[in-house]
Amino acid sequence: MPTHVVTALHLNLRSEANPARRNVIAVLSQGTPVDKIGNSTLAGWAEVDAVVAGTTLRGHVNASFLGPVATQFPTAQATGGKLPAADLGSRASERRSVTGSRAYSIGEAGKPGKPSTHASGKAPGIVRIIDWLDVGHQSHLRWAGGGGKTFCNVYVYDVCDTAGIYIPRVWWTSRAISDLQAGKTVTAKYGNTVNEMRANFIFNWLVEHGADFGWKRVFDLDVLQSEANSGRMAIICAQRTNMETPGHIQVIAPENGAHTAKRSVAGKVTEPLQSNAGASNFTYGFVGRDWWQSAQFRQHGFWTNDVA
C-alpha cells in the first residue's frame, strides 16, 4: 500500500543509500506512489518499494523528495472540446538568481503585476516585466546557458506567465490528451502526464493549439512591432531543420526610451526590438537581421497575444 509519492520532477531509485555510486535501478517520475519500508542507514534516506513498468522494485531514495500520499498536484479538465493549459505552477524557490528546476514558474517576491495593472497601460506593463526579469543581468542564472544548453523557452515562458498569458513550459503527454478528450480530470505530473517543451515543439504547439490560447499569427515585421508597441505580447519562434538541435524563441519588446527597433530609410521595420535568452542573453537588443531566415531553421512564425 503506497505511503508516499515522489514530489521531485524525477527521483533516482538506488540499490544503496549512496548517491556517489553508479547504483541507479530506475528513475521515478513525479507523482509515482511508493511504499516506505523504513529508514535507510544513511540519514535522510528511505528504503521504498515502487512499481515501475508493472514490476515492484525495492531500493533507496532521498526522503526529502517524498511527500504524503495525499500530496496535491495541479489538475485540469477539457472545456468545450478544447485542451486545458498544462502547468506545474510556481514555487518560491524559483528565482531569477538561481537555476532551480526551471519547470516551475518564478515565485520570487516582488514579481511585477499583470500589464493591465500598470497605470500607463499594457505596453509599459510589459516593459516593466521585461525590466524586472532583466534576462541580460549576469547574476540571473535561471536563463544562463552553458554546456551547449540554452533557455530561450524558459525565458519566453517566464515573460508570458508573468503577463498572464499561456505558453507551455510543459504540455500533456499523448495518454493525458486521450484522457482529457474522454472527459477525465488529469493531474499535471512531470514525466508522467506532462513533459517539457523545447522551442522546436513550441512551434508545433503554436500552429496546432496557439489560437485556442489567444495566439494570433502575423506575417509582417511592422505589424509584429506595432502590436508589441500597442501592448500585445509578441514573439518569434523558429524550428530547426535538424530537430535534434535547439530551435529558438524570443520576445519582441515594446519600444521604450532609447530601446527601439531598427528601420529602413522608408521607415519599415528591418529588425524588431528583441529581448533574448540563448547563445547570448540581453534584455534589449538584436540577434541579427532576419535570424529566423537562416538555413538552420526549417520554418518560423510571428505571433501576438493580448495580455491580461
pLDDT at 146: 86
Say if residue 50 is in the same domain as residue 151.
no
Q: Are 18 and 81 in a shared domain?
A: no
Q: What is the pLDDT of residue 21?
A: 85
19 and 134, same domain (yes or no): no
pLDDT at res. 283: 98
Same domain assignment for residues 62 and 124: no
146-182 pLDDT, tens digit each: 888 999 999 999 999 999 999 999 999 999 999 999 9
Domain count, the chain: 2
The C-alpha cell that represents 199 in the structure block: 522551442
Tell me the residue range of the domain where 248 lies.
Answer: 75-306
Can you give the pLDDT at residue 122?
97
CA distances from 169 to 104, 105, 308 (A): 8, 9, 19
Would you list the DSSP string of 64-112?
Answer: GGEEETT----EE--BTTBPPP----EETT--TTS---SSSEE--TT--
Q: Rounded to whole angstroms, how far apart are CA atoms 240 and 255?
A: 28
Query: What CATH number is attached to the domain comprising 21?
Result: 2.30.30.40
CATH code, domain with 129: 3.90.1720.10
Residues 94 and 215 in one domain: yes
Last residue of a domain, one of 48, 66, 84: 66
199 and 156 in a common domain: yes
161 and 228 in a single domain? The answer is yes
151 and 292 housed in the same domain: yes
Can you read off the three cell numbers belonging to residue 57?
522494485
Tell me, yes or no, whether 260 and 291 share the same domain: yes
For residues 234 and 218, give the distance between their C-alpha atoms in angstroms, rounded to a whole number.
10
* Amino acid identity for residue 253 in this structure: A
pLDDT at 200: 97
Total residue length of the chain: 308
Please give the pLDDT value at position 233.
98
In this structure, are 209 and 170 located in the same domain? yes
Give the percent of the chain with pLDDT over 90: 96
Kindly give the parts of the chain with pLDDT less than 70: none
Q: Are 185 and 165 in contact (CB under 8 A)?
A: no
Task: Quote the Cα angle for 182-79-32, to 5°.
Answer: 55
> Does one domain contain both 61 and 80?
no
